[in-house]
Amino acid sequence: MKPDNLPSTSVLRCFEAAAKHQSYTVAAEELQVTQGAISRQIKELEALMGVTLFRREGRGIALTDAGRSFADRLSPDLERLRQSITLARAAGQGGKILSIAVLPTFATRWLVPRLPSFQKQYPDVQLTFYSRAEPFDLAAEGIDLAIQFGREEWGGITLAELCPEDLAVVAAPDLVARFQVTSPKDIIRLPRLHLLSRKSAWPQYVADLGLTRDDIMRGTLFDQFSTMIAAAIEGMGAAIVPSYLIETELTGGALKVLGRPKSQGQSYFVATRAGEVNLMAEAFKTWIRREARASFKQRSTAS
């Protein structure tokens, strides 16, 4: 098959459905065409590619190794194509599209409340958000920009620091009063909330205070900052969280800062595709870094 001799989308959709169901009959029902139409489209694709994609197995069909390999690659490509069409329709005439991957809790508790400011500056931009907790290939997934946490170790992209982690030990005021916490060393008397991905947070903090506590890992464990923060607000225990995620609770008094753990050298980063110039992604990066600086300065002044 010549590089420019591509099959039609209808042919590819027929193959995708037949590969998914391992059945021409079920594929035909899904696409609302005849079984014969599916068979003809598959034969056309096999002739174009020069390989056999299905083999007869009893009264049914099964993917060949070549067919399975092609199906594995095709499905993500078609899904990205569908997303691109959906986004283009949503953007409308002359609209710009910006796809952003972001940590879920950071998005809901810090980014989303600030987005009206960006939309006011760029009203014609269609934003699309995806939740991602780990580094990934931006180009392969069709993402323009990502916000991630960690150290500057993510390859294949351009990184710009957004903000330091800025950790705080916090608890509900009623819990603090009940346990008569008046100094950082009193904190270890409180019940503790732990994040599964950061089990060393409490042991490190206690060690930095010059204290030892054999049962420091006792407490309630969570796999998301959002649920741990909710538990802290309800007085279930003290938590170590990035202060970016609890600005409203600190301002409103729902949570009280009891200590400031030492920095572990980790930060939030804005990632963009290396070697590409995307003016809209650069505009968003400039805007969000300005918002992060203002946020950090406001909290520093308040504390």
Count how many domains the chain has.
3
* Letter string b/e over residues 161-181, b meaning 16 or more CB atoms within 10 A of that residue's CB: ebbbbbbbbbbbeebbeeeeb
Question: Where does a domain end: 69, 88, 107?
Answer: 88
14 and 80 part of one domain: yes
Q: Are residues 106 and 242 in the same domain?
A: no
127 phi/psi in degrees, rounded to 5: -95, 135
The rounded distance, in Å, linking the Cα atoms of 211 and 224 is 27
Identify whether residues 157 and 293 lie together within a single domain: yes
Which sign, positive or negative, has the C-alpha torsion 6, 8, 9, 10? negative
H helical segments located in 161-278: 173-178, 201-208, 225-233, 247-252
**Which residues span the domain enclosing 59?**
9-88
Q: Name the residue type at position 217.
A: M
Other beta carbons within 10 Å of 42: 22
pLDDT tens series, the chain, 303 aa: 444 577 888 888 898 899 999 999 999 898 888 888 899 999 999 898 889 999 988 888 999 999 999 988 888 777 777 766 665 555 554 458 899 999 999 999 999 999 999 999 999 898 989 988 877 788 878 889 999 888 666 667 888 999 888 899 999 999 999 999 988 888 988 999 999 988 899 999 999 988 887 888 899 999 999 999 999 999 999 999 999 999 999 999 999 999 999 877 788 999 998 888 889 999 999 999 999 998 887 776 655
Same domain, residue pair 140 and 279:
yes
Same domain, 206 and 272: no
Q: pTM value?
A: 0.67
> Is 78 in the same domain as 103?
no
